[in-house]
Amino acid sequence: MTSFSSRPFHHPQPDSALCCGKTSLEALAHRYGTPLYVYSADQIIERLQLFQQSFKSRDHLICYAVKANSALAILKLLAYRGAGFDIVSGGELQRVQTAASEAMGHVVFSGVGKTSAEIDLALTAGILQFNVESVAELELLAVRAKKLKRKARFALRVNPDVFAETHPYISTGLREHKFGIDIRLAAAIYRSAANNRWLVANGVSVHIGSQIRAAAPFGAAIVRVKKLVEDLGRDGIALRVIDAGGGLGIDYHSDAAKTSAPGPDEKVQEYAAAIEQALRGFEGRLLLEPGRFIVAQAGALVARVLQVKRNGKKTFVITDAAMNDLIRPALYQAHHEIVPVRPRAGRMQTFDVVGPVCETGDFFARDRKLKPLEPGDLVALLDAGAYGMAQSSNYNTRMRPAEVLVEGSRARLIRRRETMADLLAPELF
């Protein structure tokens, strides 16, 4: 049996098809076509419960970051098991409302550019908290709350100026980033807001970035946030909530050979220990906003090989999936393990794995060593559950993939493949 540690995908026997749990990806591709996103519900639940268990001694709420993967079936799955939600748009709010209307009181609204319409939507829905990113936004929130005669609970998203080693596109905790408010200015803003009857200072929020593999930066950020809470408490402003954000990363590289590497449970425990140490003495509620860590390794993109083409010294494996289906390699130079669904015998070969989109940047891997591949073979791009389908597009007028959720021994379609009629429907000519 070949398994991929930390992931629900495995070969039950060396010559068998890759499976998600007990379900063959070959059978799913035959039934639903390719490209195809496949997710493990069992692993998504397991990852949520890792967080819930690690913080069980504290009043807390795990607010899943909807932007990572906003499939309605996944939102419903998480809500049923006690998750809240972190949203960054009115559209995401409406997705949560559709999947789990009972969860509105467990929603936090983040993001730097909330519109009046989005704020009104969230106020009417009765969300838990607005994570406010600027003085101008706080002023707009007060205006809209007064207009609707609904008090608005808010937390300032403070920028603690903590460096986290990650890709520069997903680092958010430094002063030069567009996110948050300088933590040195926050106390004065809270004091000013205390005079507005429509604003309720509920907490303080921080988020230093995404795909962060070390626990220490999270602890360092919370130390600074807790000091702010204590300073405000001495001024009579009692904040009941600290929102620690998300950002805990995963290992996108194969970890089968790294027997000493910490597993997901150990990573969450290290993360929890760093936050708990920093929060010592704080008796309020803790909010957490994991996204990638919950869904990334639960998902794979299954693609079929169209051609194997040699150009000079390069050999290209051309698949029916492309950058419009999974843009992370083109956008971030991100690494995804690529696994033949049914491995062929033979020596490893070096390939560039690419798609059919008319861009040189349409690639999934360059100079990757893989078992031999032939036209018609299936490959699985692992760790594609986060920011895969969520960032997909119709570039080159390509229909986006179908999505399947595997729960136990049952697989069900949770999003049908798009059709040309879907793509043309909004257009007028």
**CATH code where residue 332 lies:** 2.40.37.10
In a domain, residue 175? The reply is yes
Please tell me whether residues 218 and 327 are part of one structural domain.
no
Please tell me whether residues 178 and 237 are part of one structural domain.
yes
Q: 19, 20, 63, 358: which one is catalytic? A: 358
Q: Is the pLDDT of residue 170 over 80?
A: no
Q: Is the pLDDT of residue 235 over 50?
A: yes
Domain boundary among 266, 290, 314: 290
Please tell me whether residues 265 and 341 are part of one structural domain.
no
Counting residues of the chain whose pLDDT is more than 70, the rounded percentage is 93
In a domain, residue 378? The reply is yes
State mean pLDDT over 96-112. 97
Domain boundary among 290, 316, 350: 290
Please tell me whether residues 286 and 303 are part of one structural domain.
no
**CATH code where residue 130 lies:** 3.20.20.10
Sign for the CA dihedral angle at 301, 316, 396, 29 comes to: negative
pLDDT of residue 58: 96
Domain boundary among 239, 255, 290: 290
Check if the beta carbon of residue 71 is closer than 8 Å to that of residue 414: yes
Please tell me whether residues 218 and 263 are part of one structural domain.
yes
Please tell me whether residues 284 and 339 are part of one structural domain.
no
Q: Is the pLDDT of residue 256 over 70?
A: no
pLDDT of residue 306: 98
Contacts of 409 (CB under 8 A, 6+ apart): 21, 22, 23
Please tell me whether residues 213 and 256 are part of one structural domain.
yes
Please tell me whether residues 114 and 216 are part of one structural domain.
yes
In a domain, residue 58? The reply is no
Q: Using CA atoms, how far apart are residues 20 and 254, in angstroms rounded to an integer?
A: 17
In a domain, residue 47? The reply is no
- The average confidence (pLDDT) of the chain is 93
Q: How many separate domains does the chain show? A: 2
Strand segments (E) across 117-210: 129-132, 152-159, 181-182, 199-205
Range of the domain at 146: 110-290
Please tell me whether residues 256 and 355 are part of one structural domain.
no
Q: What single-letter DSSP state applies at residue 146?
A: H
Model confidence over 286-305: pLDDT tens digits?
A: 999 999 999 999 999 999 99
The verdict on whether 20 is a catalytic residue reads no
Tokens of 228: 């702010």
Please tell me whether residues 302 and 282 are part of one structural domain.
no
Short-list 390, 400, 331, 335, CA closest to 359:
331
Please tell me whether residues 284 and 363 are part of one structural domain.
no
In which band, very low, low, confident or very high, does the pLDDT at 210 lie, cut at 50, 70 and 90? Answer: confident
pLDDT of residue 169: 42
Q: Using CA atoms, how far apart are residues 234 and 220, in angstroms rounded to an integer?
A: 22
Q: Is the pLDDT of residue 343 over 90?
A: yes
State mean pLDDT over 55-65. 97
In a domain, residue 179? The reply is yes
pLDDT of residue 333: 92
Q: Using CA atoms, how far apart are residues 274 and 268, in angstroms rounded to an integer?
A: 10
In a domain, residue 150? The reply is yes
Q: Is the pLDDT of residue 76 over 80?
A: yes
pLDDT of residue 79: 98
Check if the beta carbon of residue 375 is closer than 8 Å to that of residue 307: yes
Short-list 428, 47, 61, CA closest to 242:
61
Q: Using CA atoms, how far apart are residues 290 and 293, in angstroms rounded to an integer?
A: 6
Q: Using CA atoms, how far apart are residues 351 and 348, in angstroms rounded to an integer?
A: 10
pLDDT of residue 213: 86
**What type of residue is 50?**
L
In a domain, residue 264? The reply is yes
In a domain, residue 95? The reply is no
pLDDT of residue 160: 87
| Weakest-pLDDT range from 39-43, 115-119, 254-258 | 254-258
Please tell me whether residues 188 and 317 are part of one structural domain.
no
